[in-house]
Structure formats: structure tokens, C-alpha cells
Amino acid sequence: MAGGCCGSDYKQYVFGGWAWAWWCISDTQRISLEIMTLQPRCEDVETAEGVALTVTGVAQVKIMTEKELLAVACEQFLGKNVQDIKNVVLQTLEGHLRSILGTLTVEQIYQDRDQFAKLVREVAAPDVGRMGIEILSFTIKDVYDKVDYLSSLGKTQTAVVQRDADIGVAEAERDAGIREAECKKEMLDVKFMADTKIADSKRAFELQKSAFSEEVNIKTAEAQLAYELQGAREQQKIRQEEIEIEVVQRKKQIAVEAQEILRTDKELIATVRRPAEAEAHRIQQIAEGEKVKQVLLAQAEAEKIRKIGEAEAAVIEAMGKAEAERMKLKAEAYQKYGDAAKMALVLEALPQIAAKIAAPLTKVDEIVVLSGDNSKVTSEVNRLLAELPASVHALTGVDLSKIPLIKKATGAQV
């Protein structure tokens, strides 16, 4: 409300109450103090990475009621409707929103919207404040793009979240398995300790039982041993007395036997020893004489054998010398007479050869020649005589066919 009497320029700001105004004198205007909702929108704004994003938001603003700031708002917007005020504030917010989008990355805008909205509010508040407008709230409504960058980022984030979830599930299952194993181990440890205590108790009981049994057995054995020792002592005393009696008896028996030995010895000396010594002396003298006799006979026999050996050796030597001389003379005669000597040698050997050949016939009682013709017998004899030189040559090495006399005789015989 402005104006007054006498052209006064006085201005009065009234809100939440009433005031007097002169009709046709005072100028009265109204401005809305209600909250205004704005929806700033920035399309295809490039971020710090060059990705074009479209961002929409929601802002709640109102005119401030402080006197000074209300006066500023009235100077700026008095006479304008609410839509004009919204347009001014909306353009201011969108300008600051665009400038801040160019300084941030997509991840910062998309992942931390509250921080982004706070940053826009803090940057835009001084400018709208100088217009008497207060930003009550500012939030980011939506962020999207036309190249599917955010959807790819979301898929990546989803995969990361899924991976973290799988890792979390695996770790949880691992921890559960570990805890289950630890619980089983604790259970087994408790069971083992209980079993150990039970086994220790049983072992202690068995040891105590064994100790009692051992003590009872020891006492029983000691009593039995004491009884047996006492019985042995009594038996020893009885045996000792019996041995003393036997010793006395043995001493008496030994004395009697000694007297008997003396008597027997004297008797043997008188009846056996003295005659035996005389006989032994006689036999010894006879044996010594026989020994001397045998020695002399052996010496005589040895001398006899030696003499006979020497005589035989002399005879053998003389015979050897005579045989050697004979052979020498025979060899000289063979050398001198040649074929005649060989003939003599063959003639000497023929009887021996005939004897050797006829030796088997000496065991035959009768020989029967089965032949009806006497000429065949004659021919068989002639054949044998014809084969005789070959047999003699095979036996003696002398060829009778080369000796003129034998050859002539053989021819005449044939």
C-alpha cells in the first residue's frame, strides 16, 4: 500500500493482518506469499565426460516475509501474477542446474542425487534470494539419456551388486560351514573329553581293582609260602636227623669194611699176589728169550733175502748181456746176409703164426668136410696156400712173393 495525503510517498507492507487505506488516495497492491512448485528441466546437457543427459527436478519456493526481503520481492514482482514469478525463478534454477551438470560426471549425478540437489540449491539460493525468493526444497526427479549410458552403467552396477551378492552368499555359506564345523568340532571335543573321563574312570577302577587283587594274591601267596617254608623246615629237621643216623651207621659200616679189606688184602697177598709175581717173572724171562730169538731169525732171513737178491740180479744182468749180445750178433747177421736172414726170421715166425691160427681148432673134436668132389678139397687147399704170402705180409711186413725160394716153392706147389 502506497500513497497518502498531500502527495506523500509512504509505503507500508502488511502481511497476515489488515490496515486502513484511503479510497482514491492510497494505492493498494497484493502479492502471493503461497508456496510455488517449480519443475526445472534441462535436456541434452553434456556432463564433464561429454555425455548428454536430461535432468528433471522439483523445487519448492516462496516469497520471504522479512521486511527488507519482502520489500525487494515487491519491487521485483509487484504487479505480476504468480506464473510470471514462477518463470523468473524457474529460468534461474535451470541456468544454475545446467552450469553444475557441466562440472560433474554421470556417476556423481546418478549415484548421489541428494548431493547434486544440495549443490544446486546452495549455488542458486543467493541469486534467488536477492529477488526476495526462498528455496524451500530442491530434489532431482529423474536423470536419463538417449544413448543408454545409464542403462549400461546400471547393468554394470547390477552385475557388481550381483557379484557382491554372490560373494556375500558364498562367504555366508562358508562362514556357516566353518561355524558348523566348529560346532561339530566343539561337540566332538566335548564327546572326546567325556569319553576320556569315562575311560580314565574305568582305567582307575580297573587299576584299583587290580591293586586290590594283587594285594590279596600277595597276602595269599605269602601265607602259602610261609606254610610251605614251615613244612620245609620241619622236613629238613627230620631229614637232618635221618642223615645223622645214616652217617653213624655208615661210619660203623666203613669201619667193618676197612677191617674186611685188610683181611682180604692179607689173604690175597698170601694166596694170589706172591705166586702171580713169581709166574710173571718167569713169563717175562721166557718172553725176553723169545724176543731175542725172533730178532736173530729175522736178521738171518734178511741176510738170506739180500744174498738171493744179489744172486738173481747178477743172473739177470748176465742174461741181459747175453741177450743183448745175441741180438747184436743177429742184427749183424741180418745186415750181412740180407734176404737170407729175413727168410730165416720168417721161417722162425711161421710156426708161431700157425700155432696162433690153429689154436681155436684145438678145441674142436672133429672136422667134417662136406664135398662130393675131391678136386674141390684140393682147390680149397691151394687157395689157402696162395693167400698165405698176403697174410704173412700183413702180419710181419715180409713179402714172401719177392723171395726166390719161397716163390719157386709156392709155384711148384700150385
Q: Residues 240-264: pLDDT tens digits?
A: 888 888 888 888 888 888 888 888 8
Question: What is the reported pLDDT for 393?
Answer: 66
Question: What is the reported pLDDT for 295?
Answer: 82
| Strand, helix or coil for residue 41 | strand
Longest dimension (CA), the chain: 227
Question: What is the reported pLDDT for 339?
Answer: 62
The Cα–Cα gap between 60 and 47 comes to 25
Query: Which residues partner with 37 through β-bridges?
Result: 60
Rounded to the nearest 5 percent, the helix, strand and coil shares of the chain are: 75, 10, 15
CB 49 within 8 A of CB 95: no
At what angle are helices 374-396 and 339-358 packed, to 10 degrees? Answer: 120
Where the chain has pLDDT below 50, the residues are 1-5, 7, 405-414
Question: What is the reported pLDDT for 375?
Answer: 56
Kind of pairing, strands 52-63 and 41-46?
antiparallel
C-alpha cell at 356: 696162433
Cα distances (angstroms) measured from residue 110 to each of 94, 237, 333: 18, 123, 160
- Cα angle: 80, vertex 95, 50; to 5 degrees: 160
Contacts (Cβ under 8 Å, ≥6 apart) of 47: 53, 101, 102, 104, 105, 106, 109
The Cα–Cα gap between 370 and 374 comes to 10
| Strand, helix or coil for residue 407 | helix
The Cα–Cα gap between 105 and 310 comes to 154
Question: What is the reported pLDDT for 28?
Answer: 65
Contacts (Cβ under 8 Å, ≥6 apart) of 129: 64, 69
Question: What is the reported pLDDT for 411?
Answer: 43
Q: What is the pLDDT of residues 21-42, one digit of tens each?
A: 666 656 666 777 788 888 888 8
Strands of 233-278, DSSP E: none
Kind of pairing, strands 52-63 and 133-144?
antiparallel
| Strand, helix or coil for residue 112 | coil
The Cα–Cα gap between 137 and 59 comes to 6
